[in-house]
Amino acid sequence: MYDVYGVIGYPVKHSLSPVIHNLGFKLLGLKSVYGTFEVSPENFEQAVIGIKALGIQGLSVTVPYKERIMKYLDEIYKTSSEIGAVNTVVVEEGRLLGFNTDWIGVLKAFEENGISLKGKQVVVIGAGGAAKAVVYAVKEAGAKEIVIYNRTYQKAVELAQKFGGVPKPWDELNKAEGEIIIQTTSVGLNSKESVVGPEVLLRFKVAMDLVYSPLKTTFLTYAEEKGCKVIDGLQMLFYQGIEQLRLWTKKSLSQESLSIIQKELYAEVQRRQA
Ligand code: NAP
């Protein structure tokens, strides 16, 4: 008998999460399997009700359901309510527990690159779902100042108010300055667009892009050209997934297993982008 896990979202067929989790289960020696559940918005409620009935042990939750799933859960971990989004469901004794591992993915990505956010001036571009986890993580890590630019200014204001950041209008983005810049919008996803030009990246030391398709976005290419240390979006995806595995299995992977999964994840992206 296999334990069943999966990712629920719409669309979700091209998710990379099965690569992380199926290999993770194998390396942990567990008889578990992870699939994709592509559920359209009109069927979402029925699907959530079915989690317990089908005996599913845990779920990753992705766009557009990270907020919508919250009202169906029996318990929501404090961090997830503060961020306002759940990306992980753990099923324990028939109860649905909600967690957020995205913010941990952000912190680990910085940590693994040897970059401290403490006392830094950080610019966050975007104020959508992913930005909430980013701003929460940056604040938790003790950044000195968090400046938020978003196309819809009101959303930047709301996010800044929630976590103590400074909202700035979108048309002033070309004047952005600081030490670390984090790109959280979907601009650049499967395209050559960049939210800012190289002249902006010249003013930063570290640049992170949450978009990982393509792996080297134009934003990161400009950043690298201007001498920034760069962090690609796959690093956050990897670490948030590893944290999910830990929550589901209560087991930690060895350093060797982590390297195997990370290598396979990058190889899979390269195969898909070839
Ligand atoms: P979301 O909630 O829909 O937010 C989208 C954000 O992008 C908003 O700030 C939106 O601004 C902005 N945006 C969209 N099109 C734009 C444009 N043409 N010009 C300027 N801004 C634009 O989505 P999300 O969940 O935050 O995800 C955002 C991106 O992060 C996606 O590409 C997703 O794949 C990626 N992501 C990566 C990871 C990872 O692990 N690496 C995790 C989560 C998400 P408005 O508010 O003005 O609409």
User: Which H or E element spans position 208?
Assistant: strand 206-209
What does the alpha-carbon distance between residue 37 and residue 39 come to, in Å, rounded to a whole number?
6
Tell me the C-alpha distance between 241 and 233, whole Å: 13
CB of residue 173 inside a 6 A radius of ligand 1: no
Q: Is the CB of 215 under 6 A from ligand 1?
A: no
Query: Best mutation site among 185, 187, 195 for ligand 1, i.e. most ligand atoms within 8 A of its Cβ?
Result: 185
- DSSP secondary structure code for residue 269 in this structure: H
CB of 187 closer than 6 angstroms to any ligand 1 atom: yes
pLDDT, one tens digit per residue, over 122-162 is 999 999 989 999 999 999 999 999 999 999 999 999 999 99
Beta partners for residue 183, in sequence order: 125, 209
Probe ligand 1: pick from 65, 186, 230, max atoms within 8 Å of CB?
Answer: 186
Q: Of the residues 13, 26, 52, 66, which is catalytic?
A: 66
pLDDT per position as a tens digit, 216-260? 999 999 999 999 999 999 999 999 999 999 999 999 999 999 999
Among candidates 79, 76, 68, 125, which has minimal Cα distance to 104? Answer: 79
Residue 1: pLDDT over 90? no
SS3 of 121, please?
strand
Ligand 1 atom nearest residue 189's Cα = 32
Q: Which residue stretches of the chain are H helix?
A: 17-27, 44-54, 78-83, 102-112, 129-140, 153-163, 198-201, 218-225, 233-249, 255-273
The residue whose CA is least distant from atom 37 of ligand 1 is 210
User: Locate tokens 């069943």: which residue?
Assistant: 4
Residues 6+ apart with CB under 8 A from 22: 33, 34
Contact 157 CB / ligand 1 (< 6 Å): no
Classify each residue of 231-250 as buried b or exposed e, where b means 16 or more C-beta atoms within 10 Å of its C-beta: bbbbbbbbbbbbbbbebbbe
Q: pLDDT-based confidence at 271, cuts 50/70/90?
A: very high
Q: Is the CB of 15 under 6 A from ligand 1?
A: no
Q: 66 catalytic, yes or no?
A: yes
pLDDT digit string, tens, across residues 4-17: 999 999 999 899 99
Q: What is the pLDDT of residues 56-100, one digit of tens each?
A: 999 999 999 999 999 999 999 999 999 999 999 999 999 999 999
